[in-house]
Amino acid sequence: MLAVLVQSLMIMSPQAMAGGLVEVLPQIKPSVVAIGTYQRTRSPAFRFLGTGFAVGNGRLIATNAHVLPESLATDGMESLVIVLPGDEQTRGVREVRRVAVDRNRDLAVLRMEQGEPLPALSLARGSKPQEGQAIAFTGFPIGNALGMTPVTHRGIIAAITPIGIPQGNARDLNPALIRRLSGEVFRVYQLDATAYPGNSGSPVFDPETGEVVGVINMVFVKGTKENILSDPSGISYAIPVEHLSNLLNGL
């Protein structure tokens, strides 16, 4: 009898694990946006750059700093925009402007000046995530090719690791790594789920509660963590949400 009960629980386990995510996703997806630039005179008019998500009062959009363009062709009427969630008929475009940037943590906050605010995601506070904790993230992997349909991946926090590892050979050092090794220890989340180009800026959240625990980051972390690799690994990373909270508090 006990063996039958154990076998039953093992069979039910995957569904039980997915149950929370199925319920939470409808709360997450309306807050996740595509970030890019818009210029009416070019083709395509919208150029996708990365993912963001609504925080605070619903008019603030969190993302990675490296997602944003260094400059805009303002003489050509190019603007920074977000594409709102929804189907082809209801999807909209809103102009945004950057209001805060933390380049040391590769985080940025944008503000949507017009239109209705989006449902803001809750940022985790208090106890920090632990290794082995289940996570999920939603964004636009390879958005240029796969389109503006939000995609969700799930996994665990595989490790909480320093962003930079001291190298045994000076040839393996670069200016970014030196800067990060000389300051306070900056730890990031290493994930066992695969993120793709376009996922940068995606919210990493608890699949049971929907609380955001981190922000997917591919370029910034890999450039430091894996700088000595000729072929970067498929490992994904996320910036802990506490750094985003600090940036928002500054506003």
Separation in Å, CA 58 to CA 32, 80, 216: 11, 18, 20
What does DSSP assign to residue 162? Answer: E
The pTM for the full model equals 0.82
CA dihedral for 12, 13, 14, 18, sign (positive or negative): positive
pLDDT in tens, 235-251: 789 999 999 999 999 98
Cβ atoms of residues 134 and 207 within 8 Å:
yes
pLDDT in tens, 193-208: 988 889 999 999 999 9
Q: Is the pLDDT of residue 228 over 60?
A: no
User: Coil, strand or helix: which one is 123?
Assistant: strand
First to last CA, the chain: 60
CA dihedral for 242, 236, 94, 89, sign (positive or negative): negative
57-74 mean pLDDT? 94
Residue partners of 78: CB distance under 8 A and separation at least 6? 37, 38, 39, 72
Specify whether the backbone of 217 is left (phi greater than 0), alpha (psi in -120 to 50) or beta: beta
Cβ atoms of residues 221 and 199 within 8 Å:
no
> Considering the chain, what percentage of its residues have pLDDT values greater than 70?
75
As a whole number of angstroms, the distance between CA 25 and CA 162 comes to 30
Q: Is the pLDDT of residue 220 over 60?
A: yes
pLDDT in tens, 173-185: 455 554 555 555 6
Query: Which tokens in the block code for residue 155?
Result: 């996994």
pLDDT in tens, 43-65: 889 999 999 999 999 999 999 99
For position 240, what pLDDT does the model report? 96
Cβ atoms of residues 71 and 134 within 8 Å:
no
As a whole number of angstroms, the distance between CA 50 and CA 158 comes to 24
b/e map 200-239, b = 16+ CB within 10 Å: bbbbbbbbeebbbbbbbbbebbbbbbebeeeeeeebbbbb
Please state the φ and ψ torsions of residue 124, each to the nearest 5 degrees. Answer: -65, 140
